[in-house]
């Protein structure tokens, strides 16, 4: 059984990507903003569309995942290596949850090396935001630096978080995932490297509007595997690791253009340091408006115009821990609705986050065990203790 990359197209700001698994053909559509479009280089745009074509494919490949893929477009050996990393390391959580090994995952083939990047001109930063602490802090830092920038937001929902309007009208990129055919296809389901998908889409938007940099709020993340499948580290955050970011920039530099870079002003900070900076720079302004909770804001059909916290998930528990050394308990209880440390439904979640009793770290974008243990042990006076010992 082969997964087929059929074709892609771009017309009037609408990109269409088509794939086939068994008898099912999947069509994803992505609408980019053309309001600020410049006289962009069509060849560079096509090269960026091809990268998006490959990485978006993870969303459909997963239903009937296997080693064999069919790609009628010619790629070289280094491209194949990078795509294999994305489809193997980038889908390690998916493999773990579906009892697959590295040998069960996609293997691209290429020949020789044929770098083909083109030079273009551009200026300014497209800063991608979500309404979470990392992206809001990054926009504040960008604004303080005085560089030319616009904020961007990628969504498959009708609305977007109103907090983003604090930085001017956002450039909206709208994904229409082929949910109907995914449901029809059945098969496996699971996590894909969505950060890399979003970066590929933001890159296209930057080309359209003539910007030279794409900023994502990514710190020092993803270094701590949850488990191993043979030699394959199982990592929810692989797409945010320094390795993944380096591969993306290598690919863009060698195969698209050396004149656009994906970057992050937070790349030198760990999650605990980011929480401290957010508490200092942003809490007064955004403390009651931001959220890093996926459950409350990003499920299908959710209205996320006003961001919320569910107070029951790993992301909420992670944030509560990270801010405990910097934000008073009363402030956190105000946004989460209750004291998370005393919630018995979160006991196992906190054990996973803090590496206690062999409970696996949750599959979410969370800080390292050492950072979270430090945060708990250095929480401000007034916070309750958890019902287990943290050494």
String of b and e for 209-224 (b: at least 16 CB within 10 Å)? bbbbbbbbbbbbbbeb
Is the pLDDT at 300 greater than 70? The verdict is no
**Range of weakest confidence among 134-143, 295-304, 336-345:** 295-304
46 and 194: one domain?
A: yes
pLDDT bracket for residue 1 (50, 70, 90): low
256 and 125: one domain?
A: yes
- The pLDDT of 63-90, averaged and rounded, is 96
Residue 319 lies in a domain: yes
245 and 295: one domain?
A: no
53 and 138: one domain?
A: yes
**Mean of all residue pLDDT scores within the chain:** 93
Choice between 212 and 227, residue whose per-residue pLDDT is larger: 212
At residue 378, the pLDDT reads 97
166 and 221: one domain?
A: yes
Structure tokens at 367: 């800080």
In sequence order, the β-bridge partners of residue 69 are 3
Contacts with 273 (C-beta within 8 Å, 6 or more apart), sequence order: 219
248 and 278: one domain?
A: no
- The pLDDT of 187-194, averaged and rounded, is 92
116 and 230: one domain?
A: yes
* Contact predicate 226/360, CB 8 Å: yes
At residue 221, the pLDDT reads 85
Structure tokens at 232: 């394959």
243 and 294: one domain?
A: no
Residue 389 lies in a domain: no
At residue 181, the pLDDT reads 96
218 and 277: one domain?
A: no
At residue 301, the pLDDT reads 58
337 and 225: one domain?
A: no
Chain-centroid distance of CA 305 in Å reads: 20
Structure tokens at 91: 């889908």
pLDDT bracket for residue 299 (50, 70, 90): low
At residue 144, the pLDDT reads 86
Query: Can you tell me which residue has the tokens 């709208």?
Result: 174
Residue 238 lies in a domain: yes
Q: What are φ and ψ of residue 216, in 5° steps?
A: -120, 140
25 three-class SS: strand
Domain count, the chain: 2
Cα torsion 374, 380, 381, 384: sign:
negative
Residue 391 lies in a domain: no
pLDDT bracket for residue 222 (50, 70, 90): confident
Distance in angstroms (rounded) separating the CA atoms of residues 91 and 239: 9
Q: Which of 212, 236, 263 is the last residue of a domain?
A: 263
pLDDT bracket for residue 36 (50, 70, 90): confident
DSSP symbols for 326-364: TS-HHHHHHHHSS-GGG-GGGHHHHHHHHT-TTPPPPSS
**Range of weakest confidence among 77-81, 219-223, 230-234:** 219-223
Give percent above pLDDT 90 in the chain. 83
Q: Which of 244, 263, 282 is the last residue of a domain?
A: 263
Query: Can you tell me which residue has the tokens 């293997």?
Result: 107
Is the pLDDT at 171 greater than 70? The verdict is yes
3-state secondary structure 284-315: HHHCCCCCCCHHHHCCCCCCCCCCCCCCCCHH
Residue 88 lies in a domain: yes
- The pLDDT of 148-175, averaged and rounded, is 91
Contacts with 144 (C-beta within 8 Å, 6 or more apart), sequence order: none
- The pLDDT of 94-118, averaged and rounded, is 93
* Contact predicate 314/353, CB 8 Å: yes
* Contact predicate 337/291, CB 8 Å: no
In sequence order, the β-bridge partners of residue 198 are none
Residue 122 lies in a domain: yes
Q: Which of 263, 282, 302 is the last residue of a domain?
A: 263
At residue 277, the pLDDT reads 97
Nearest Cα to Cα of residue 249 among 386, 82, 36 = 82
At residue 24, the pLDDT reads 95
162 and 300: one domain?
A: no
At residue 355, the pLDDT reads 94
pTM above 0.85, yes or no: yes
At residue 139, the pLDDT reads 93
310 and 252: one domain?
A: no
Q: pLDDT per residue over 48-59, tens digit each?
A: 999 999 999 999
Choice between 37 and 240, residue whose per-residue pLDDT is larger: 240
Q: What are φ and ψ of residue 22, in 5° steps?
A: 55, -125
DSSP symbols for 231-285: TEEE-TTGGGSHHHHHHHHHHIIIII-TT-EEE-TTTT--HHHHHHHHHHHTHHH
* Contact predicate 167/129, CB 8 Å: yes
Is the pLDDT at 313 greater than 70? The verdict is yes
CATH classification of the domain holding 125: 3.40.50
Give the range of the structural domain holding residue 326, as residue numbers without chain letter. 271-377
pLDDT bracket for residue 170 (50, 70, 90): very high
């Amino acid at each position: 059984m082969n997964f087929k990359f059929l074709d892609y197209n771009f017309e009037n700001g609408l990109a269409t990507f088509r794939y086939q698994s068994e008898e099912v053909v999947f069509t994803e559509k992505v609408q980019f903003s053309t309001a600020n479009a410049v006289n962009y280089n069509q060849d560079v745009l096509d090269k960026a569309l091809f990268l998006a074509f490959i990485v978006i494919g993870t969303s459909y490949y997963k239903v009937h995942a296997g080693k064999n893929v069919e790609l009628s477009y010619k790629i070289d050996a280094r491209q194949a290596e990078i795509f294999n990393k994305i489809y193997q390391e980038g889908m390690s959580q998916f493999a773990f949850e579906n009892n697959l090994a590295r040998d069960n995952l996609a293997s691209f083939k290429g020949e020789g090396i044929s770098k083909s990047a083109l030079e273009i001109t551009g200026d300014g930063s497209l800063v991608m935001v979500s309404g979470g602490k990392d992206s809001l802090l990054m926009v504040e830092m960008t604004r303080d630096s005085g560089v030319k920038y616009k904020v961007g937001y990628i969504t498959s929902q009708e609305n977007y978080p109103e907090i983003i309007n604090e930085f001017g009208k956002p450039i909206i990129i709208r994904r229409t995932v082929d949910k109907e055919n995914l449901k029809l296809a059945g098969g496996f389901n699971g996590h894909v490297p969505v950060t890399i998908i979003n970066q590929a889409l933001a890159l296209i938007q930057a080309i359209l509007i003539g910007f030279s940099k794409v900023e994502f709020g990514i710190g020092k993340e993803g270094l701590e595997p949850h488990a191993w499948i043979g030699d394959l580290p199982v990592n929810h955050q692989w797409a945010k690791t320094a390795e993944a970011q380096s591969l993306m920039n290598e690919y863009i530099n060698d195969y698209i253009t050396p004149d656009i870079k994906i970057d992050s002003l937070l790349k030198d900070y760990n999650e605990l340091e980011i929480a401290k900076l957010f508490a200092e720079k942003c809490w007064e302004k955004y403390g009651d408006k931001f959220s890093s909770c996926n459950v409350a804001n990003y499920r299908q059909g959710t209205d996320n115009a006003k961001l919320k916290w569910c107070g029951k998930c790993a992301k909420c528990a992670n944030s509560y821990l990270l801010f405990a050394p910097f934000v008073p308990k009363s402030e956190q209880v105000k946004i989460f609705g209750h004291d998370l440390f005393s919630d018995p439904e979160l006991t196992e979640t906190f054990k996973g986050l803090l590496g206690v009793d062999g409970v696996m770290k949750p599959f979410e974008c969370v800080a390292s065990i050492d950072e979270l243990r430090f945060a708990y042990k250095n929480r401000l006076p007034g916070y309750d203790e958890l019902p287990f010992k943290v050494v």
